[in-house]
Structures are given as C-alpha cells and as structure tokens.
Amino acid sequence: MKGIGIKFLNLSLIIVLLFSSITVFAVDGDRDVSTILSEESLQVSSDRGSIEGILDEASEEIKDILKLKKAPYFQEDSFIKIYNLQDSDIVKHYKENKEFKKNILSEYRWVAPAFQENNKTLLVNFIKKTEGEGWSMAGFSDGLATEGYSFLLDKEKIIELLEDNGIKNIDEMKFIRTDLYVTNIIYINMDNKEFAIPFSNNAEVLGFENGKLYNIDKLMSQIAEKYTPYDVEASSKDVAIEEGSDKDKVMIASIKIIFVGIAIVSIGLLIIVNKKSLKSNKQ
C-alpha cells in the first residue's frame, strides 16, 4: 500500500507540473498591451547606451544646421521603435501575401522628438550604422503633429483605444512607417488576427480615419479603392534622408513619370509636324 501511495503521489506531481507548464506557455503568448509597449521602449533596449552616447552630438549638429541659438534636447522616454518594411507598398505586398506580418522586418530605427525652447519640436531619425557598430542620426523633420507621432508616444491613449474596442491582451504590437503612403501604423496581432491603427496627414485621400482601429484586410481594401501611390506628397520637409530610403524611391518614380510624360508629348509633336510636312509636299 505504501508503494502504491508513492506512485500515486508521483503521478499527481507530474500532472500538476504538466498543467503548470501549459498555463505559463499560454500566458506568455497572450500578454497585456502595457507590457508589450514597455518591452519596445528604449529604456529596456540593448541600444540604450549607444543611442545615449550620440545624443549630445546629434543636438549640436541640428543646432548648426538650423542655426539655432541653443541646441534642442531629447527625453529618453520619448523614443519610438519603428520597424522597417520589406516592401513600402503595403497594399501590393498584402494582396500578394495575404498576411501583413510577413512585410515587417526585424530591422528597425529609433525616432524621437528633439525639444526646443520655443515649444517647437523636430522629429529625429536614428539608424544603425552600415559599417561597424552603433547608431547615427539619419535626418530630421518638422513637428510631432505629423503622422500621429504624438499619439504613438502616448502609451495610455493606445491602451485606452484598444480597451474601448474590447482588446486587453495581444500577441504582438509593432510601430511601422511606409514613406510611399506617408503613413504610420500601429500593427497588432491577436490570436493570428491582424489589426491596424493608421495615422496620416493624407488620411482622407487614403480612405481611412486617423486613430481608428481597423481589421487589416479592411484597411488595405479601403486604401486600394481610394488611392494609388505617387499621388500623395510628403507632409513635412525632411532635412536629411538616409540613402536608399523609401522616399528616394518615390522621387525616382515621380521623375520616371515626368520623363514618360515628356516623351509622350514629344512623340505627339513629331506626328503633327510630319503630317504638316506631308500636306505641304502634296501641294
């Protein structure tokens, strides 16, 4: 009887441990929004030391470029991690892959406001160096109002918006930007269902409402119905842009369109001139 009791105890212990491990796994895959946002912050990132080490230099560089009397300053809790995209044409990529997540790369940049004494703010981009280790300032543009950056910085507003839509726990949240559509998006994955909160100064043209939670499929469909790329101009003046960025591609595409237009007009003029020459020869 004593041996049976020990065997029963061991079996019970195994069952308890098994269910405990299953519970822990489930919790890890379904986390609250606040935790995920904290994990994406600079304060807990391995990049923190490297970024902090270049902020004074970046401030002085901005001061020299804009000829400011005093250098702007940064706040550590105001950095946003923006993930890079495989294809900046998010609509085309989604149509081809039927999953938005596949377009999001593991590479990212840090974006942060640089505060000035006159209450004006600049938006500064930091990217990883192409050679060696560390980070460098890639460029800056006007203001936080652009493309909803002020909302991205407000953790409480993000949590409130999701809770208003019945979402408290999610699997994944990432901030992304597409320069082709001049839009920032909060990407959310919950139980393999994809959602997005878009922000753009061209929201009306793109067919969506800023700061509204969309099913990703619906958002992509609405943009596709209302808009084709190369129609929207950037809403802020960029002082510096990293080489090979999405905005470079837009400029190249625009230049191509201009040259095609010139070619068509030239061909039309040649046809008219040739017709006139034929008529005069006949006479």
Three-state helix/strand/coil letters over the chain: CHHHHHHHHHHHHHHHHHHHHHHHHHHHCCEEHHHHHHHCCHHHCCCHHHHHCCHHHHHHHHHHHHCCCCCCECCHHHCEEEEEECCCCHHHHHHHHCCHHHHEEEEEEEEEEEECCCCCEEEEEEEECCCCCCEEEEEEEECCCHHHHHHHCCHHHHHHHHHHCCCCEECEEEEEEECCCCEEEEEEEECCEEEEEEECCCHHHHCCCCCCCEEHHHHHHHHHHHCCCCCCCCCCCCCCCCCCCHHHHHHHHHHHHHHHHHHHHHHHHHHHHHHHHHHHHHC
Residues 6+ apart with CB under 8 A from 35: none
* 41 pLDDT tier (thresholds 50, 70, 90): very high
pLDDT in tens, 258-280: 433 444 444 444 444 444 444 44
**pLDDT of amino acid 144:** 67
Under a CB-based contact definition with an 8 Å cutoff, are residues 43 and 76 in contact?
Answer: yes
**pLDDT of amino acid 231:** 56
**Every domain of the chain and the residues it spans:** 27-241, 243-276
CA angle, 184 as apex, 178 and 190 as ends, to 5°?
105
Task: Kindly tell me if the per-residue pLDDT of 12 is higher than 90.
Answer: no
**pLDDT of amino acid 197:** 97
Give the length of the chain. Answer: 283
Indicate the average pLDDT of the chain. Answer: 78
Q: How far apart are CA 171 and CA 161, in angstroms?
A: 17
* 10 pLDDT tier (thresholds 50, 70, 90): very low
**pLDDT of amino acid 244:** 45
pLDDT in tens, 118-165: 878 999 999 998 877 899 999 998 876 666 888 998 999 999 999 999
pLDDT in tens, 160-188: 999 999 998 999 999 999 999 999 999 99
* 257 pLDDT tier (thresholds 50, 70, 90): very low
pLDDT in tens, 57-96: 999 999 999 999 999 999 999 999 999 999 999 999 999 9
Q: Which among 173, 122, 171, 126 has a CA at the least distance from the CA of 149?
A: 122
* Cβ atoms within 10 Å, residue 114: 22
pTM of the model: 0.71
